Structure 1
């Protein structure tokens, strides 16, 4: 099934014609539960990885011998989904609660040193043929594969992810690795994605307001304040949901490729290449939710009747405080990437 973004609540270019000069596109990936294969763009699916190539590992020093087993995390999600999907008496039974408590236990892996090679988790793979706004890879590579370490504390910080991007030419993979290595335990269940197929959709997008010219930003702010004042004149239970530039008219939520990064948690930060100092472009956004529980104006037309609390998190991935991870790439594809959490 395709996923279709509804028309925006307002024509933002009619309100602010100058925005036409800043209009861009982004590809919403719309990951949804499914059974992808190695030839598919996917989240949490099997990767087109050569049998004779070492799997990415993390060797940065951090504790890695205590955590939850990935199989337990997947099973817990299955139990909960089935429990809440029941028409009669939805919710876990006493027996299911006991199973959930067992699955939630942390396990210790004996003899694991803090720098032992730890298999990274394959988070996603994107074929350029499927994703119009995916940046070009180096030397004609057509497949981007994304990995991360299933633990935090990298770089000596309290919260530090470790992300690995790999580009390759899919046509050069002859024999696919049948059984990739997997971590015995993970530090955070939000780093374990559920298998999802993608339904890419290219939509219009506009820069984060804080990066627009000051006079244009001021006019947008004044317009939003006027809408808020108008809404306050309604009775509380009758007040319409006032659209905002940030959350309804400019940058869509969810997993997406290309376009503009949102800086709604922090002030905009320069994302310049560490090698050549050139400004970097947004490569990929990994989002904890496909839409929010507020106005939900970005919720696909085909899913208007689905409640956010059960269906807005199909990948089960969580980054930051249920936020988003923005991965940036230099226009010289061989240069290292950078990232920011919002």
Structure 2
């Protein structure tokens, strides 16, 4: 089912025509629980992965305070969705025994510094998600991350991304059973979701606007009680491109590539699809569902923040950067 963002509460371009040149298209992914296949765009679904290509691992230092056995995280999610699920022998799953077994496995691997396999975060086919970069060369973008805290990285205490840009015609045999990490932080293990991509228009948040325009919008907000950023500028939730997430922890700064080019938002991993300030973005088709679909992915970044991935428009070979805000 296609999901549609309601019309914005205000015609922001009519109010502030100077925003016209600052508009960017973003694609809301609208992830919802489902069973995607390797030929589908998805969040945390199976990847179209060449069988001859090694599965990526993370060799960085990890903080293991919040780690649990990965299989236990998945089993617990399955149990919540289906409390009466059974084993292959028709017996009801004993979650108490399952928990004890997985806790033992977690202790077994807690001090293991061996490289850990990454997990899929998103698979995005260009035919489904318009506007992805380097469309003259690629048809598929795959995003993975290490689902553990990394204390010594540029964006510490967060997952670490890896990307693969692909042409599907170059993939022959498929890797059908990729390795799984022994342990992970449950906050970084997304639920498997299908996506219903929808293109919307975004504008910069207030702090990134030219001073005269920012002042005009601030006066309008004070006079009317409206919220430019939450109601008009930035779509919440999991998305691609656009102006990315909201800089809320600290003031914005340019995300510069090592080549000197300013990097642009590529992929936004959010702690939920909407909250009390952004509920006006809830799809029309899900009106009346309250908070039931506010967090289908169940990823938590920091204390409910956003992890924004950037790319260099000069080359996909240049290192990507990420920031939490």
Q: TM-score, normalised by structure 1?
A: 0.84
Pick one of 138, 142, 146 that aligns with 1:141: 138
Does residue 300 of structure 1 match 2:298?
no
Does residue 263 of structure 1 match 2:247?
yes
Alpha-carbon deviations, 1:200-252, whole Å to 9, x = none?
A: 00011111211111010011111111123xxxxxxxxxxxxxx3111111110
State the SS of the aligned residue for 2:255.
coil
Does residue 278 of structure 1 match 2:261?
yes
Change (3 A) 1:104 1:2: farther
Residues in 2 aligned to 1:42 and 1:111: alpha-carbon distance in whole angstroms: 30
Deviation at 1:8, TM superposition (A): 0.2
Deviation at 1:160, TM superposition (A): 4.2
Matches within 5 A, 1:19-168: 19-62=19-62, 67-81=67-81, 105=103, 107-108=105-106, 110=108, 114-136=112-134, 140-155=137-152, 159-168=157-166
Deviation at 1:80, TM superposition (A): 3.5
Gap regions ≥5 residues in structure 1: 84-94, 229-242
Residue equivalent to 2:323: 340
Does residue 190 of structure 1 match 2:174?
no
Deviation at 1:311, TM superposition (A): 1.6
Residue equivalent to 1:329: 311
Alpha-carbon deviations, 1:280-313, whole Å to 9, x = none?
A: 11111111211113451000001111122x3211
Pick one of 188, 202, 206 that aligns with 2:203: 206
State the SS of the aligned residue for 1:141.
coil
Residues in 2 aligned to 1:192 and 1:14: alpha-carbon distance in whole angstroms: 42
State the SS of the aligned residue for 1:77.
helix
State the SS of the aligned residue for 1:265.
coil
Pick one of 204, 221, 231 that aligns with 1:248: 231
Counterpart contact for 1:50–1:177, Cα < 8 Å: yes
Counterpart contact for 2:33–2:191, Cα < 8 Å: yes
Residues in 1 aligned to 2:25 and 2:156: alpha-carbon distance in whole angstroms: 35
State the SS of the aligned residue for 2:279.
coil
Change (3 A) 1:51 1:321: same
State the SS of the aligned residue for 1:316.
coil
Counterpart contact for 1:124–1:147, Cα < 8 Å: yes
Deviation at 1:64, TM superposition (A): 5.8
Matches within 5 A, 1:219-258: 219-228=216-225, 243-258=226-241
Q: Number of paired residues?
A: 313
Residue equivalent to 1:316: 298
Q: TM-score, normalised by structure 2?
A: 0.88
Residues in 1 aligned to 2:171 and 2:203: alpha-carbon distance in whole angstroms: 37
Residues in 1 aligned to 2:101 and 2:17: alpha-carbon distance in whole angstroms: 55
Alpha-carbon deviations, 1:56-100, whole Å to 9, x = none?
A: 0011133569832233223323443457xxxxxxxxxxx999689
Gap regions ≥5 residues in structure 2: 84-92
Residue equivalent to 2:89: none
